[in-house]
Each structure stands twice: as structure tokens, then as C-alpha cells.
Amino acid sequence: MKSPINVSSETMKDDNIFKAVQEQYRQESHEQPSDRLEQVIFSAAQQSVGLSRVQQQKNGWVERWLPTLKFPAILAGASMMTLVVAQLILPLVQGPMGKSVNIERIVASPSAGVEYVDMDSLNSPLSESAISVPPSRVASGERKAKAIELFDMPESEVSQSQFEKASEKELERRVLEIKQLAQAGDFLSMNQKIAELQQRYPDFPIFEEIRPLLK
Amino acid sequence: MTLESISLHSLLPNRAVLAKGRVTSIQDQTDEDLMKAYRDGSMAAFEHLYGRHKGGVYRYFLRSTKEQADAEELFQDVWIKVVNAREDYTCSAKFTTYLYRIAHNRLIDFYRHKGSAQYALRDDSSEGDFEQFSDEESLESILQIEQQAMQVKEAISLLPALQRDALLLQLEGLLSLEDIATICDTTRETIKSRLRYALAKLKQQFEGELL
């Protein structure tokens, strides 16, 4: 059986031919792929989606937990950074000139008054100029030794002993001065000094000290 | 009305262009939306998309290969390619263009594999020559059609490969001349020429039977 195209052949133009062919073609063409093919394709499509979902679930776990773990992770990172800076970088950055004085003590001295003693400067083999203490305030070797001794003593003992020694020396100086005035016969000045001494050291037997000189 | 103005998209089932934010059923979604939905994991979208195009792609191969087994093999290959390329799909062109480009390329591979002399005639310079239609195969085909009263679809199957390919892409893929030209890596004018000669040949075949 023939399938005529219902248009006039004489006046047929391309578009009309096309329409006619299309119409005829659609009437005749109804073939479809088999169900078996469809199942194979759907199975592949389903598998692809399934695999993707598994991947998405894995990614989803990371996405869910990432905000929760972010803060602790940042905290841990910051702590580590601080430790690294403290342990490694700071010692490299600080040179000998910039090093801080670790111990500074105020030592009372009868001769030099109050004196600052840098313990690092005492122990360090470096020259005194390398230490950020003015030369005038740098203790001599003897004083340093004293200071070290004092440093090793308890604080209460240090101050008490130091003040006792200072007071003793002062007394000796005053007694010596009075004796000299007595020997010289300057009794007016001597009496004045005795009064001052008795005022400061009321228990000191000053008259017994000068009596042999007055005879 | 001219050949190029016959936009077969007007013959498509209602493919509404979706407004953003508007809730639509799966039937109203465009091919591109369905493919994107499948890319995002919707199996229902794929089933609907497959339902829309399975007949066209299958018949495209059936008319081109003339063998059901070959057509089924090629058909399956094309859809498996679509499935495998799911995650990489980007809406850079119409889905039909994308689909039929895969189909067209697979068909070329098939011809090459078969060593088809018919497809070796792929030479655009000879396409404009109307006498090409009077080659031995075409004459034989016309006689065969007239003698055996073959139907239109069978006559299409006997067209030269390039003309048949262009005509089937338009009939089954409902593609525009531009889209067919893109798929075939040629110019719009070349496709227009192929279609014109294909139709002329069909007209010649059925001329004696026309009312």
C-alpha cells in the first residue's frame, strides 16, 4: 500500500513538502525502545544518583561538623601559635642588650647609701658597660660580694644586721669625736656632743669612756 | 512561510517557560530544568526527561542504521553517556541539542566502525549537486519505493546519510537549522541545503502517487 502525500506536486514548495512529510512520518513512526533497554538505562541512572547521594552524605557530615569544630580548632591553633612564639621566636628576637633584668634588689649600705644591685650583672662575665646600670651605681667587687652574701640571707636578717652595723659605726665615730674634744680641752663642744650622743644612745656609758681622759 | 520558518518547537508539547520562584509540576518543567534536577539527584526528573526523548532518539538511530539491534545499542550508549555526564552538565545549550549531539557523534563512530561507504560520501561540495540524487543507490531506492510502496519513514531511511541525518534531527529532535548546524559542525546554509535536497528527493519518490 502506498502512502501518498496530500499536496499538489506542481505547486509544492519546500515548506509544504516538509509539512506533508512530517505529517506522514508522524502517522507512521511510533517505534519505541524496549522495556529491557529502559530498565538498563534507569538502573544506570539510579546507580549514578545513589553513588552521588553517598558522596553527598559524606560531604554532609563534614559540612555539619565543620561549624561545630571551627571554634575549638581556632582556639587550639591560637594556643599553639602562642607557644611557638614564646618558645622559639622570642629568644631569637631578644639579644643581650635587650634582655630584661631578672632580679633587682635594693641594698642598704652604710657607706654608699641605697644601692641597686643587678644580680645578672654580678654573675655575668660581661663587662659592666654591657649592663644597663649606670657606672656610678655599679657596686665594687667587695660590695658585690657583700650583696651576694646579703642576698643569700633572709630578708629580715639582712636589714637588721645592716642597720646594727651602721649604728655601731656611727656611735664609734661620735665617741671618737668626743674623746678628741676632751683631749683638746674643748669642753664646751665636748659637752654639746655628749648631750647629742646621750640623746641618741641613752644607754651608752659615755662618761666611763672619757673619764680617764679628764683626769 | 519558508522551510526555516517552520519552527518545530511550536509543535512541542506545552513546555512552559518557568518564572523564577514559581512552583511548577514536573510536567511543566523544561528539559534543561529536568536535567539540572537529575544532576542534583532527582531520579523522577530523569524518568520524565527520558520519557520525552526516548522515542525520538531511538527512531533517529533506527532510521539511520536500519537495524533494530544496532539502534538499541546506540540508543543505550547515548543515555548512558547522559547519565555519566550528569554531574558535569551545565546549561550552556538546549538539552535537545546536547542530547542529539551525543547521538550524532555516536552515529558517526558507528559508521566509521562499520566502514560505511555511504557516510564516506560526506563532502559538502557534492551536496549542492542535484545529480547526486540520481546515484545508483538513490535510483534503486526510488524504484524500490515505487515498486514496494514503501512508506515515508522507509523512504527517509534510504536517503543519503547526510540528508537523512539532517532531516531526522529536524523530525525527531525538533531542532532548528541552527541547532542542527551546531550538532553537525557545519553551517546553517549547508543544513538548509541538505534538507531541501532530501525533501526534493522524497517529493520525487512520491510524485506519481500524489493527489
What was the ipTM of the complex prediction? 0.72
Cα B95 to Cα B14: distance, rounded to the nearest angstrom: 16
Half-sphere exposure of B206 (CA within 13 A, CB side): 29
- Determine the pLDDT at residue A91: 74
Cα A180 to Cα A183: distance, rounded to the nearest angstrom: 5
B 35-94: CB under 8 A from A: 38, 41-43, 46-47, 50, 54-55, 58-59, 62, 72, 75-76, 79-80, 83-84, 86-87
Does B194 or A160 have the greater pLDDT score? B194
Query: Virtual CA dihedral for A120, A126, A129, A134, nearest 10 degrees?
Result: 20
- Determine the pLDDT at residue A94: 65
Percent of chain B's residues with pLDDT above 90 = 39
Cα A105 to Cα A115: distance, rounded to the nearest angstrom: 8
Q: How far is CA A37 from CA A27, A42, A43, B35, B47, in A?
A: 24, 9, 10, 20, 13
Cα A43 to Cα B80: distance, rounded to the nearest angstrom: 10
Contact B86, B39 (CB under 8 A): yes
Average pLDDT, chain A: 70
When CB atoms are compared, the residue of A22, A31, A37 closest to B76 is: A37
Does A157 or B135 have the greater pLDDT score? A157
Q: Which residues of B touch A49 (CB under 8 A)?
A: 38, 41-43, 46, 86
pLDDT digits (tens, 9 = 90+) for B55-106: 999 999 999 988 899 999 999 999 999 999 888 888 778 899 999 999 999 9
pLDDT digits (tens, 9 = 90+) for A109-151: 444 444 444 455 455 444 444 444 444 444 455 555 555 555 5
Q: Does A51 touch chain B (CB under 8 A)?
A: no
Q: How confident is the model at residue B20 (pLDDT cuts 50, 70, 90)?
A: very low
Cα B162 to Cα B184: distance, rounded to the nearest angstrom: 9
Contact B176, B191 (CB under 8 A): no
Q: CA nearest A15 in B: which residue?
A: B3
